[in-house]
Amino acid sequence: EAVEFGLDAPFEVEYHDSISSTNDRARELAAEGREDVVVLADEQTGGRGRLDREWTAPSGGIWLSIILRPTVPPASAPAFTLAAAVATTRAAREAGVDAAIKWPNDVLVTHGDTDRKLTGILTEMEGEADRVSWVVVGIGINANVEAADLVAGATSLREETGDVNRRVFTQRVLEEFHELRSDPDAVVPAWRELADTLGRRVRVDTSGGEVVGEAVDIEFPGTLVIETDDGPVRVSAGDCEHLRPV
């Protein structure tokens, strides 16, 4: 319960010491008609990432899923992923970590030539063509996770700056997220400001093949515009299998 957990956020919080996946639990609650509930766990035993990948979620992290019932079409839902990335990046910077967003949904910390992943976001939804019935935004933050428990290429707040107060950090993420969801027009500009992707030459693997060029802009609800030799190509967030610098 929100008050008991000590979170003063515009969401009700259901906390679990250990759960298979907060996204799975949130989907159950969403199917029961719930909204503005956050499922939060210390540890996940069956965490899920994008594209059916596994997501390692040991004790010490912030693993949470937000249930929303917005009046938007499914095509607008990627904007919630961007909002989650902005919210997490802002909270990390406040905590003194020099985090940046990599399109579409990763929050990274750069060390020399390598980017290490601090946060992943998995947005899922159900609904009709013209309106979603629910959206679940899953945010996985390697907060106070020990180096030995991190997967290759990952970092944690503990590694970057030392342990954070997870209650305070979670509250900041939820407050920022709440502010952005009530002001959708602010999402893309905020994202642009915190992103590390624009202005770089990138290669994106999509279901339709590879796109190579300079990442020049992002458009609502999260489409990346790549200037290729043959002109601009737009890639939707959901269609990105992999993005790397070239």
Residue with tokens 């250990």: 18
Q: Is 23 in the site for ligand BTN (CB under 6 A)?
A: yes
Minimum CB–partner distance for residue 130 and ligand BTN (Å)? 27
Minimum CB–partner distance for residue 121 and ligand BTN (Å)? 6
Radius of gyration (C-alpha) of the chain in whole angstroms: 17
Minimum CB–partner distance for residue 55 and ligand BTN (Å)? 4
Minimum CB–partner distance for residue 154 and ligand BTN (Å)? 10
Interacting positions 126-165 with ligand BTN (CB under 6 A): 138-140
CA distance 236 to 74: 13
Minimum CB–partner distance for residue 69 and ligand BTN (Å)? 18
Which residues are bridge partners to 14 per DSSP? 39
- Contact by Cβ (8 Å): 235, 103: no
Return the structure tokens found at 18: 């250990």
Return the structure tokens found at 51: 């594209």
Nearer to ligand BTN, 85 or 202 (CB): 85
Instruction: Out of 10, 35, 43, 49, name the contact with ligand BTN by CB under 6 A.
Output: 49
CA distance 88 to 47: 19
Q: How far apart are the first and last CA of the chain?
A: 47
222-228 contacts at long range (C-beta below 8 A, 24 or more positions apart): 222/78, 222/79, 222/81, 222/82, 222/103, 222/104, 222/188, 222/191, 223/78, 224/103, 224/104, 224/197, 226/202
Burial of 155 (0-12, 13-18, 19+ CB in 10 A): buried
Closest CA to 95 of 39, 128, 47, 144: 144
Interacting positions 180-239 with ligand BTN (CB under 6 A): none
Q: Is 243 in the site for ligand BTN (CB under 6 A)?
A: no
Q: Is 53 in the site for ligand BTN (CB under 6 A)?
A: yes
User: Stretches 30-38, 58-66, 126-134, 220-228: which one binds ligand BTN (CB under 6 A)?
Assistant: 58-66
Q: Is 50 in the site for ligand BTN (CB under 6 A)?
A: yes
Nearer to ligand BTN, 156 or 213 (CB): 156
Nearer to ligand BTN, 78 or 213 (CB): 78
Question: CB under 8 Å to 183, separation ≥6 — which residues?
Answer: none
Q: Is 57 in the site for ligand BTN (CB under 6 A)?
A: yes
Site string for ligand BTN, 93-132 (x = CB under 6 A): ---------------------------xxx----------
User: Stretches 19-27, 29-37, 169-177, 193-201: which one binds ligand BTN (CB under 6 A)?
Assistant: 19-27
> Residues interacting with ligand BTN, by CB under 6 A?
21-23, 44, 47-50, 53, 55, 57, 63-65, 120-122, 138-140
